[in-house]
Amino acid sequence: MKILVTGAAGFIGSKLMFMLARRGDEVVGIDNINDYYDPRLKYGRLRECGITCGAAEMEWGVPYQSMLLPRCRFIRMAIDDKESLDALFQRERFDKVMNLAAQAGVRYSITNPYAYLQSNLVGFLNILEACRNFGVRHLIYASSSSVYGMNEKVPYSEDDKVVSPVSLYAASKKSNELMAHAYSKLYNIPSTGLRFFTVYGPAGRPDMAYFGFTNKLREGKTIEIFNYGNCMRDFTYVDDIVEGVVRIMQGAPSKQQGDDGLPLPPYAVYNIGNNSPENLLNFVDTLQQELIRAKVLPEDYDFEAHKRLVPMQPGDVPVTFADTSALERDYGFKPSTPLRQGLRAFAEWYKEFYG
C-alpha cells in the first residue's frame, strides 16, 4: 500500500512511519516541524528513520529519501496548507491516510487557542477534502481520551456520550470525530478514529508530565503533582499504540446500505489504552527509581525536597481509564506493556539522547 502519515516527525508518527516502511509499505511522511517544543527532538526522530538533510532545517516541500528505508520519504509540509496538500494527494494517490498532525496539549490550548483552530480544525478539514477528492480508501486519525471529559463512568467506552469537553483541545478532537462521521456519511469514505490514552515512552513530547518531570528533576527544580497526587492515568506505551494503529490500518469499516437504500456511514472509533490506570504518585515514584537506575539522577537524589502537591489544573480530569474490549474483539489486540518496563525504556533513551 501507499500510505500517508501526517505528523511524521512526532512521537507516534515517526515510529509508525518506520514500522510501516520496514514491513514493505510505501510511506510518505509530512510534518511542519513547528516550535511548539524543541525541533531538535523532531529532527532526532527523523534521523532514527534514516531521514536527514544535513542542515539545521529542512526545506519546505522538498522530499527527503530515507537512507535506511528505500520505500520511505519525508516532506516538510503543513496540513493547513490546502494547495500543497492537494498537490501531494494528486501526485501520490494514497491508498490510506493516517492523520496524526495536530496541535497537542491541554494546557497550551488555554493560552493559545487559535493554534488549535488552524491545525486541528482547518487542517483536518483539508485532510477530509483531499481524501474525498483523491480516492483514499481508508482514513485513520488520532482522536484522544480527552473527549470523555468529566465522564464519571469508568472504564470509558466508545459507546459513552462524549458531549462535555473540559478543554479546547478535547473539543477540537471531538470535532474531528464529528467531521469524519459527516464525510463518511456524505461521501462513503471509510474512517476510523483512535482515542489514545496518555501515551509515553522514549523520544516522547517534552510537554508530557513524565518528560517534564525528568527535565525539572535533572535541573534541580521542583515538580508539581496535580490534584495532590490523586489522579489516575491509563498510561499507554508508545509501541503498543503503534501496534494498535498498524492492526487497525489492515482493515476499514465496511461500506453498507441501510434499509432506506442510502449508504450507512463506514465509520468507527476505538480506544487504545492500557486498561490499567496508575495513581500519579506511584507513577512518579517508579519514574524516579528508573531515572536513578539509568544514572539520569544520582543515587542520593532527595526526591521529597523536589516535589510539591498542588490542586487540579483547568482542563485536567481526575481519571482516565480505557475499555479496550472493542479493540480486542475486532483486532485481537490489547496494550500490555508494564509501566516499569516502559519507564525504563524512556529513562535509558533520555540518558543516551541528552548525555
Q: Which are the catalytic amino acids?
A: 169
Best CA proximity match to 280, nearest among 324, 332, 331, 316 = 316
Q: How many CA atoms lie within 13 A of 115 on its CB side?
A: 16
Best CA proximity match to 188, nearest among 293, 267, 83, 75 = 267
CA distance 102 to 28: 17
Residue 119, all three cell numbers: 491545525
CA distance 39 to 178: 31
Q: Is 93 exposed, middle or buried (0-12, 13-18, 19+ CB in 10 A)?
A: exposed
Residue 46, all three cell numbers: 527523523
Question: What's the distance, CA 87 to chain centroid?
Answer: 25
CA distance 319 to 312: 12
CA distance 355 to 298: 14
Q: How many CA atoms lie within 13 A of 292 on its CB side?
A: 12
CA distance 271 to 142: 10
Do residues 160 and 153 make contact, with C-beta atoms less than 8 angstroms apart? yes
Do strands 96-99 and 72-76 pair parallel, antiparallel, or not at all (unpaired)?
A: unpaired
Phi-psi region of 343 (alpha: psi -120 to 50; beta: other; left: phi over 0): alpha
Phi-psi region of 220 (alpha: psi -120 to 50; beta: other; left: phi over 0): left
Do residues 315 and 106 make contact, with C-beta atoms less than 8 angstroms apart? yes
Cis geometry, peptide bond prior to residue 63 (ω within 30 degrees of 0) = no
